[in-house]
Amino acid sequence: MSEKILIPILGDQLSMDISSLDGQNPDDCILLMMEVEDETTYVRHHKAKIAYILSAMRHHAKALAERGWSVDYVKLTDPDNRGSFSGEIARALERHRIDRIRITEAGEWRVMAMIENWEDQFAIPVSICPDRRFIATHQDFTNWADGKKQLRMEYFYREMRRTTGILIDRDGKPEGGKWNYDSANRKPARGDLSIPQPIRFRPDAITEQVLTMVAEEFSGHPGSLEQFHFAVTYEEAMRQKRKFLDEALPRFGDYQDALLSGEPFLWHSILSPYINSGLLDPLDLCHEVEQRYRDGDVPLNAAEGFIRQIIGWREYIRGIYWREGPDYVERNFLKAKRPLPEFYYSGETDMHCLSEAIGQTLDLAYAHHIQRLMITGNFALIAGLDPQAVHQWYLEVYADAYEWVELPNTLGMSQFADGGIIASKPYASSGNYIHKMSDYCQKCHYDVTKRVGENACPFNALYWDFLDRNQNRLADNNRLAMPYRTWGKMDSQTRDDIRRQAKSFLDQLQGN
Ligand code: FAD
Ligand code: DLZ
Ligand code: SF4
DSSP 16-53: TT-GGGTT--GGGEEEEEE--HHHHHTTT--HHHHHHH
Q: Which CATH class is domain 5-129?
A: alpha beta
Rounded-to-integer distance, Cα 312 and Cα 409, Å = 13
Beta carbon of 161 within 6 Å of any ligand 2 atom? no
Does residue 292 sit in helix, strand or coil?
helix
DSSP string, 395-443: HHH-TT--HHHHHIIIIIIIT-TTSSSS-SS-----HHHHHHH-SGGGG
CA of 406 to the centre of ligand 1 (A): 8
* Among protein residues, the one whose CA lies closest to atom 1 of ligand 3: 353
Please identify, by atom number, the ligand 1 atom nearest to the C-alpha of residue 306: 5
CATH architecture, domain 138-203+219-324: Alpha Horseshoe (1.25)
Say if residues 88 and 36 touch (Cβ distance below 8 Å). Answer: yes
* CATH 1.10.579.10 intervals, the chain: 343-509
pLDDT under 70 in the chain at which residues?
Answer: 1, 184-185, 192, 512
Beta carbon of 314 within 6 Å of any ligand 1 atom? yes
Please give the pLDDT value at position 194. Answer: 84
CA of 369 to the centre of ligand 1 (A): 6
Ligand nearest to the Cα of 76, by number = 2
CA of 42 to the centre of ligand 2 (A): 10
Rounded-to-integer distance, Cα 93 and Cα 97, Å = 7
Neighbours of 495 (CB within 10 A): 15
* Among protein residues, the one whose CA lies closest to atom 8 of ligand 3: 431
Please identify, by atom number, the ligand 2 atom nearest to the C-alpha of residue 36: 8
Beta carbon of 377 within 6 Å of any ligand 1 atom? yes
Say if residues 456 and 450 touch (Cβ distance below 8 Å). Answer: yes
For the domain bounded by 343-509, which CATH number is listed? 1.10.579.10
Which residues are CB-neighbours of 255 under 8 A, at least 6 positions away? Answer: 185, 187, 189, 266, 267
Instruction: Give the residue, out of 457, 460, 505, with the most ligand 3 atoms within 8 A of its beta carbon, to mutate for a pocket test.
Output: 457
Please give the pLDDT value at position 512. Answer: 55
- Residue-wise pLDDT for 429-466, tens only, equals 999 999 999 999 999 999 999 999 999 999 999 999 99
Provide φ and ψ at 72, rounded to 5°. -100, 110
Beta carbon of 441 within 6 Å of any ligand 3 atom? yes
* CATH 1.25.40.80 intervals, the chain: 138-203+219-324
Beta carbon of 406 within 6 Å of any ligand 2 atom? no
* Among protein residues, the one whose CA lies closest to atom 16 of ligand 2: 11
Rounded-to-integer distance, Cα 310 and Cα 286, Å = 8
CA of 404 to the centre of ligand 1 (A): 12
- Residue-wise pLDDT for 271-283, tens only, equals 999 999 999 999 9
Ligand nearest to the Cα of 285, by number = 1
Say if residues 365 and 52 touch (Cβ distance below 8 Å). Answer: yes
Give the DSSP H/E element, type plus range, for residue 128. Answer: strand 126-129
* CATH 3.40.50.620 intervals, the chain: 5-129
